[in-house]
Each structure stands twice: as structure tokens, then as C-alpha cells.
Amino acid sequence: MKPSELLQRLLDVHAAKAALRRRHVAVACMAGQYDVNNAYQYVIAREDQHLVWLADAIRDMGGAVPADPGPESLPVAKDEEAVRRLARADAEAADAFVAAWRPRVAEMTHARHKLMLDLMLGESQEQARLFHQAAAGQLDLIGRRTGGARLPGAVLQTRWVE
């Protein structure tokens, strides 16, 4: 693979991962249930790290990292079922991301960047699993509670600051 092709591949995966992150931030602003919101926060934190890795790789190859176009706007999810639909769409998008990039990464010859992208794809599969569970209404997404009743309440939408 030529260096220019590798750079373009890194730019392409950066754009795809950044788009997923923007979507996840928008959903996190609406996901009021604590466990679902915490799962989104976890995913966003990992995606932030993925984007740092990609940006470093792009710069190392002499490329310029594209500017972030800003947050995505979604229709407001008014109830838990609407958030489940958003999580289902996010699960499908994460599955599609992995399916689209797995063969493209497999054909790469640059060992360090290939390993980085393989790690990202593995974490994206885990993110898809979290979203599938959230879409199914499961709440023990990141870990199991040690006991006791769940606390009532919700995460405030205005809490999120980009």
C-alpha cells in the first residue's frame, strides 16, 4: 500500500469515526436513564481516544486532520422507547462500521496502523453490543449493580457540555 493510499484510508476512517461520535454525543444529550447515559459517555470517551490515535497517525504521515463540523442535531427523543430506537440505530451503525472497515483494514500492510485500527474495530464491536443491549431495554450495560433498588431520576439534558 502506497503512503498516499494509507493516509487516505486513515482520513476516511477518521471521518467515519468522527461522524459516529457526533451522533453518540447527540443521543447522550437525550438519554436520561443513568445506565444508558453512562454507556454513551463510556463510548464517547473511547471514541475520543480513537480520534486522538487517528489524528496522531495522520499528522505523522504529513496529513492534516479535518476540523470537527460541530454537533449533530437529532429530533428530541420524548420517551424511553424513542431512546431505544436511537440505540438500535447506533447498534446497527456500529455493526456497519465494523463490517465496512474489517476487510479494508485486513488488506493494510502498515503493521502499527493496522494494529491500531484492529483495536478500534474490536472496541466498536463492544460498543455495538452495548447499544444492542440498550435497545433491548437492558440496564446493566457497563456493570452489574451490587444490589438494592435502582434510584429514580434521570440525567439532565443540559448537563452535557461539548
Position 103 in a domain:
yes
Position 85 in a domain:
yes
Position 53 in a domain:
yes
Position 152 in a domain:
no
* Mean pLDDT across 86-109: 96
Q: Which CATH number goes with the domain that contains 53? A: 1.20.1260.10
The reply to whether the predicted model has a pTM over 0.95 is no
Mean pLDDT of the chain: 88
Which residue from 143, 121, 154, 161 is spatially nearest to 37, judged by alpha carbons?
154
Residue with cell string 467515519:
16
**Chain segment 11-46, per-residue pLDDT in tens:** 999 999 999 999 999 999 888 888 888 999 999 999
Which percentage of the chain shows pLDDT scores above 90?
67
Go through the chain and tell me how many residues it has. 162
